[in-house]
Amino acid sequence: MKKTVMGLVLLLTFSSTSHAVPTLQIGVPGASPGSYAPYVNSSNPNETDTAITTGNIIVVGGVQAQNAVHLGGAYGGRDWSTAVNGTTPAAFDSHGALLLITYSADALASSSLKISTDGGNSYHSSDVAYSSLFFPNEHSPLHDGTVSGYAYFDIGNFGFAGTVANFADPGESPANGELKEILLQFTGINWAHFDVMALETKETGNQEIRTTWNFENNPGSHDVTWHPNTPVPEPGTVTLVGLGLAGLALYKRRNRK
C-alpha cells in the first residue's frame, strides 16, 4: 500500500512538473478564443518550438512561479544588474520585462520596427542595440546569415491577478499571471524572431533572469517568428488570371448552348 501511495505521489509530482505553465511564453492568437497557433519544429530562420505568424498581434504570458513576488524588472531597490544568475547590458536597468527581437531587413535606412502595448494608440520605436549578453546560450537566429540587427522593447511588469494557460496545451490547468497583447508595425522587414526575458524576484529578495529560450528553469522554448504577408501578385499575373477566368466562363456558356 505504501509503495502504491508513494508511486502515486511521484506520478503526480512528475506530472505537475512536466506540464507546468512556463514562466514566460510568446504566442500567436489562434482561430478561436483562448486558442494559440501551434509551435513548429522548423522555421526560417532555423529555430525550433516557434509559432509562425504573418499578422500584427502576438501575446506574451508571464506567470507566478513558486515563492515569486514579482516578475518584470526592478523591484525592491534591485535591478537587472543585480540578478544572481547573469550579467546584462547596463541599458537594461530601469526597464521592465523585455521583448527581444532578432530581425532581417534589406536596407536598414528604409526599415522600421515599432511596437505597442497600449492598444496601438502610440507606437514606440525600438532601442536598437546588440550585445552577446542578450542571449547567453546558443540561440539559432543569431547564427543566421541574413540577420541585420537586434532590438529590445520594455513591456513592463506582469501582474498575478489573472490566469495564463500553457500556449502549447491550453487544456492544462492555468497559472496565476498576466497576458500582454503586443501590436507590431513593421516596414521593410524580411523576418523577425521574438524572445522574452524578465527578472523574477523571490520572497527571499533574490532575483533571477527568466527567459523563453530555456536559460533558467523555464520549460519549453515557446517563442514566435514573424514573416510578412504573402506578396501581392504582379499586375501581369493578375491579368493572366483574369483572362483565364473569362475564357473558362465563355467555354461553359458555349457548352450550355
CB neighbourhood size of 158 (10 A): 27
* Rounded distance between C-alpha atoms, residue 63 and residue 85, angstroms: 19
Tens of pLDDT along 193-214? 999 999 999 998 888 888 887 5
Q: What is the band of 255 on the pLDDT scale with cuts at 50, 70, 90? A: low
- Residue 97: its H or E element: strand 97-105
3-state secondary structure of 121: coil
Residues 6+ apart with CB under 8 A from 32: none
DSSP state of 42: -
Q: Which of 43-47, 174-178, 235-239 has the highest mean pLDDT?
A: 174-178
Check residue 9 and give its pLDDT: 36
Looking at residue 135, its pLDDT comes to 64
Does residue 225 contact residue 51 with C-beta atoms inside 8 Å? yes
Question: Which residue would you say has higher pLDDT here, 11 or 71?
Answer: 71
Q: What is the DSSP letter of 227?
A: -
pLDDT score recorded for residue 158: 97
pLDDT for the residue numbered 129: 55
Contacts of 45 (CB under 8 A, 6+ apart): 102, 104, 140, 141, 144, 146, 147, 191, 193, 225
Amino acid occupying residue 93:
D
The pLDDT value recorded for residue 4 is 42
Q: In this prediction, what percent of the chain has a pLDDT beyond 70?
A: 72
Specify the higher pLDDT residue, 252 or 4: 252
* β-bridge pairing 175-187 and 189-202: unpaired
Q: What confidence score (pLDDT) does residue 16 get?
A: 35
Give the separation between CA 50 and CA 46, rounded to whole angstroms.
10
Q: pLDDT by residue (tens digit) across 55-78?
A: 999 999 999 999 999 999 989 888
pLDDT, residue 237, reads 43
Mean pLDDT of the chain: 78
**Dihedral class, residue 24 (left if φ above 0, else alpha if ψ from -120 to 50, else beta):** beta
Write the CB contacts of 180 (distance below 8 Å, at least 6 apart in sequence): 59, 60, 61, 62, 117, 155, 156, 158
Mean pLDDT along residues 152-170: 93
Res. 18 pLDDT band, cuts 50 70 90: very low
C-alpha count within 13 angstroms, C-beta hemisphere, residue 69: 10
- The answer to whether residue 181 scores a pLDDT higher than 80 is yes
